[in-house]
Chain A
Amino acid sequence: MAGEQKWDKVVRTTVWSAGAGCHGGCGAKLFVKDGKVMKVEGDEDHPWNQGRSCPRLLSLTQYMYHPDRVTYPLKRAGERGEGKWVRISWEEAFDTIVQRLTEIGDKYGRESVLFCQGTGRDIGGPISLLAYSYGSPNWVQFGLSGQSCYTPRLVAMFATMGDYAVADASQFLEKRYNDPQWTPPRCIIVWGQNPPPTCPDAFFGHWIVDCMKRGSQLIVVDPRVTWLASRGKYHLQIRPGTDGALALGMMNVIINEGLYDKDFVDKWTYGFDQLKERVQEYTPDNVAEITWIPKEDFIAAARFYATSKPAAIHWGMPIDMNPQATVVAQAISHLWCITGNVDIPGGNVIARPSHGVTAYPYSTAELERLYGQEFIKNILSRKIGASRYPMVRDFRHWAQPDLAVDQVLSGDPYPIKAAWIQTTNILGGQAADTRKHYEALKQLEFIVVVDLFHNPTSMAVADIFLPAATFAEKNSLRSWWTPLSALVKAVQVGECKSDWEINLELARRFNPKGVPWKDVKELFDSRLEVSGLTFDQLAEKGSWEMAREGHPSKPYRRYEKGLLRPDGKPGFSTSTGKLELWSKCYEGWGLDPLPYFEEPPESPVRTPELWEEYPLILVSGARSSVFFHSEHRMIPWLRELDPHPVVEINPQTARELNIEDGEWVYIESKRGQVKRKAKVTPIVPPWLVMAPHGWWLPETQGTEPYLFGIWDYNINQLIPTGCQSQSGYGGGAYKTMLCRITKIKEGRE
């Protein structure tokens, strides 16, 4: 194209990073001139997004070159919260950090330091590398009550299938929709997610729309009328927190009407009879009463799902925010097991890291090799939550967040004295009970924040601020399902470094033996070894490669071919070799092996007196098309499209409360009040209000006590901690609290 000669180079890379991104894995083209990214487009040769992009990507240059971006290391000059900083060199920053963390570790033990991350993108590798090299087992999604983001769904799938599964939109195939192996799902259940605005959980939102164009019909489970819901064949407008009852009720219909796949169930599942017995408690009448969904609607939806093969389920974070989320996710995964929609084209296909590459060491064997047996024992025994929750001890390496914040405050069973907070805005975004986390962090002796902009967290508590790179400024690796992808550095901005570079350097200072790689690229090369590619080769291929046919990370029907189990036999990678509807894993962890339903901690049913006083269900966390969690509020083009922290209120409810569209109101709960602008809209039902999360106002005062407005606008102040499931994972009550809306009277503002 004539226009392209203007550029010095066009870099093809992958979007997946804190620093202008989300969970997607889009291919992007960065147009570079004089060492600057001038323009960004979706990469039309990349099978993931096929040239498409999104508002966050299209405004990347505004993000990278924003005047407020921090581009060199800082140390705090005044008191915490005064907003006084001085520029320091990386050398000084590293020296200070090593000295302070060593002092604290020597005095209180290495486990007294928390290593905090936000939502996973390419942060798991760097942060575990640093935490473990330093010697702390406490790597944690600090503030995320119940670790209620994907982990509950992952553990449920792992326990049931020995693997993970995702809705098949042909994403594992290079030719995508044109590959003859693939057929579109005849039915897709979009359960608790609004994929088009964001691309959560390694799933590109527009794939749902692509499938619709190819004939897929939708069942949408959502209390709100999203764009997808208004185009669904069935829209199940569910009461938040009752997804477990719905799944069990749908199974009741499918099993009792004989609509399940009998051959598949006989051959490939374990515990069907027990499940059948359990679902008898969940009759359509009971479930209609619990979920507030008319019985004929979900009966019809259940029949449609069970009789439309292939059918796929795509699900979201509200599942993880149900009470006892690990069994709710288990129940939903049973739906695809009993209908035989497992690892078939257009069903729920087993997802493994592409090419068998893990982007960082996390198997126990590997960790032992790097850090020694003693330390691994330490992780298992000393990690916060490990002794209380066997599931937390055994599944993934994170510490339990609700217990972590309590332990900071109590010092019991051992003190917590410092925190490394990397690309996570705890006080402006992730944390439930913002005030509690604020009080906790304030007590710590030393805090490092690694981020791209100042935010409420860095302003309130950072002693050192390290500037992180965006995805355009770093090399990194992604093997999260598919394809195997490289993030390829296009330019340098200021003195920013990638999370990988920062942590590798520091990790080496703490434990040279745990860092046997010369630099980041050598580390990637070693991770990539099983794929037969080097990092540079992968980058040269346009930054991605699909796994070859016949590889265990490539669908379909691998359980028939003996590709899933270590012993090479057909079946699944579970102890029985079958899909365990009655979960031996759960039993081993001391949990009920079968799914069940529990009311949310506050609800019209469980706390009727409270419901009289607070007669609205408060849902937080719905996605904006232009922001990712607490990021992007300072990006002018994006903010213009979504300028205010709003609360969605149904017109009927607004009329009863005498509230006008656009009026500022209070959301009040028994935990406090938050200010929002009323958005009166019929997309929410009259009994619910929705308040987006992650709101802080970067254009306002950042110093104490204001902290960019979090005490006025951050909805998480109304969300408690401590509602985690019995398993330790899931249950964060981000979508099920009760509230009321009141007018802001004159003189009160």
Chain B
Amino acid sequence: MVKKYGMIVDITRCNGCYNCFLACRDEFCGNDYPGYSVAQPFSGQFWVKVIEKERGQYPKVKVAYTVIPCMQCEKPSCVDVSSNKAVYQRLDGIVIIDPEKAKGQKQIVNACPYRVIYWNEEKNIPQKCTFCAHLLDQGWKEPRCVESCPTKALVFGDLNDPDSEISRIIATAKGKLEVLHPEYGLMPKVQYIGIPKRFVAGEVVFRDKKDECAAGVKVTLSSKGNADKVTKTDNYGDFEFEGLDADKDYTVSIEHSGYSAKKVKVKTNIDTYLGEILLGKIAVKNK
């Protein structure tokens, strides 16, 4: 069976060391690979980009890094806009920009919604990540970025081979895998685990027992009247809802027997730490 190359980026593992980026620079700066690519300029292009994301507010903050190479789309829009077949997809799925034929074709840069194609002013050509096709064709098992990754955040392999590591991960991590911007409809072969979403977190405190942690309090997250998620505060009175959609209106309801319930509205345009939420005791009348 023909090979079909793909990559998985596990964002939960990446610690932002930049090795992938530098290994890529090391491979492509100053080196032409005839038939595949011409040299990447010494600065300005990021064939594999590492983006730092810091979310939340003090004291509840999360740090993650997202790595972005060319998505090697199954339905690449860059191919469609090129004339003269300057951009083409190989049988193994890798999308290549032919440096000769692509001369002067600036529209290719703008065709990619993932913004991973760079314009080389000096050579008058568009350029991007090739999945190190020149190395794969020499027998390499993976591109330089993947090889250099110390945390195994990057996994590369043949999607058509059920025994490959990548296929095994896909088989077991079902449901956890996502692509960036599925709405573009380009069917990327670079898939992600743990894309940072929005979170809403907070701490429950009983007004009458401020020194104690309010553990085991029921917290419900609902949108448009429907309860989406339910959780309980941990031993320290903290709760968290992770993996929420962006820009949505939610209501957080806190209930505990003997205390008056509380509702807080949040909009997930940012990650939100609600801070301390005080629950007051329901006054019990003496009989």
Contact = CB atoms under 8 A, between A and B. Distances in A.
Interface of A: 1-3, 39-42, 49, 52-55, 58-59, 61, 196-197, 206, 209, 225-230, 237, 296-297, 300, 625-626, 636-637, 640-641, 650-652, 681-683, 685-686
A636 B43 contact: yes
A682 B61 contact: yes
Given A196-B17, A197-B17, A682-B57, A206 B151 contact: yes
B18 to A, nearest CB: 5
A655 to B, nearest CB: 11
Nearest to B152: A213
B284 to A, nearest CB: 28
Contacts of B151: 206, 209
Contacts of B21: 55, 641
29 contacts: A2-B139, A49-B150, A52-B150, A53-B19, A55-B21, A58-B19, A58-B22, A58-B25, A58-B148, A59-B25, A59-B26, A196-B15, A196-B16, A196-B17, A206-B150, A209-B15, A225-B61, A227-B16, A229-B63, A296-B236, A300-B235, A626-B18, A637-B22, A637-B43, A651-B57, A652-B58, A682-B55, A682-B58, A683-B61
A228 B19 CA distance: 18
The 5 closest A-B pairs by CB, nearest first: A52-B150, A58-B22, A225-B61, A230-B63, A682-B61
Contact of B63 (A52, A226, A640): A226
Nearest to B25: A637
Contacts of B62: 225, 230
Interface in B31-62: 42-44, 54-59, 61-62
B193 interface: no
Given A55-B22, A59-B26, A206-B150, 8 more contacts: A2-B138, A39-B26, A52-B148, A197-B17, A640-B43, A681-B54, A683-B61, A685-B59
Interface in B124-145: 135, 138-140
B25 A3 contact: no
Nearest to A653: B58
B261 interface: no
A455 B219 CA distance: 58
Given A58-B23, A230-B61, A685-B59, A225 B139 contact: no
Contact of B22 (A59, A206, A225, A226): A59
Contacts of A226: 63
B213 interface: yes
Contacts of B213: 296
A300 B235 CA distance: 10
Contacts of B43: 636-637, 640
Contact of B59 (A39, A196, A237): A237
Contacts of B13: 209
Residue of B29, B44, B63 with most partner-chain A CB within 10 A = B63
A33 to B, nearest CB: 12
Contacts of B55: 682
A685 B18 CA distance: 26
A3 B139 CA distance: 9
A227 B19 contact: no
A229 B56 CA distance: 14
Contacts of A52: 19, 148, 150
A300 B213 CA distance: 12
A650 B19 CA distance: 28
A55 B139 contact: no
A495 B201 CA distance: 60
Given A55-B22, A58-B148, A637-B43, A682 B56 contact: yes
Contacts of A229: 63
A69 B50 CA distance: 29
Given A230-B61, A230-B63, A636 B139 contact: no
A745 B62 CA distance: 33
Contacts of A41: 148
A625 B17 contact: yes
Contacts of A3: 135, 138, 140
Contact of A625 (B16, B29, B138): B16
Interface in B230-260: 235-236
B99 to A, nearest CB: 21
A225 B148 contact: no
Contacts of A683: 54, 61, 63
A626 B22 CA distance: 10
Contacts of B17: 54-55, 196-197, 206, 625
A199 to B, nearest CB: 11
A286 to B, nearest CB: 16
A55 B145 CA distance: 12
A52 B148 CA distance: 6
Contact of A641 (B18, B42, B58, B65): B18
Nearest to B57: A682
A55 B61 contact: no
Contacts of A636: 42-43
A274 B59 CA distance: 37
A688 B20 CA distance: 32
A54 B19 contact: yes
A1 B57 CA distance: 49
Contact of A225 (B19, B25, B63): B63
A227 B148 CA distance: 19
Nearest to A40: B26
A300 B57 CA distance: 23
B22 A652 contact: no
B143 to A, nearest CB: 13
Interface in B57-98: 57-59, 61-65
Nearest to A237: B59
A297 B237 CA distance: 12
Contacts of A650: 58
Contacts of B139: 1-2
A682 B44 CA distance: 28
Contacts of A237: 59
B225 to A, nearest CB: 32
B92 to A, nearest CB: 18
B40 to A, nearest CB: 11
A55 B18 contact: yes
Given A54-B19, A58-B23, A682-B61, A225 B150 contact: no
A41 B59 CA distance: 39
A1 B136 CA distance: 12
B275 to A, nearest CB: 12
Residue of A59, A225, A297, A626 with most partner-chain B CB within 10 A = A225
B58 A685 contact: yes
Contacts of B61: 225, 230, 682-683
A452 B58 CA distance: 42
Contacts of B22: 55, 58-59, 637
Contact of A686 (B29, B44, B58): B58
A21 to B, nearest CB: 15
Contacts of B63: 225-227, 229-230, 683
Nearest to B212: A296
Contacts of B42: 636-637
A431 B187 CA distance: 54
A119 to B, nearest CB: 21
Nearest to B44: A640
A651 B56 CA distance: 10
B15 A227 contact: yes
B203 to A, nearest CB: 10
A582 B236 CA distance: 35
A55 B57 contact: no
A416 B138 CA distance: 62
Contacts of A682: 54-58, 61
Contacts of A58: 19, 22-23, 25-26, 148
A637 B235 CA distance: 46
B120 to A, nearest CB: 16
A49 B151 CA distance: 12
Contacts of A53: 19, 148, 150
Nearest to B59: A237
A59 B29 CA distance: 11
Contacts of A42: 148
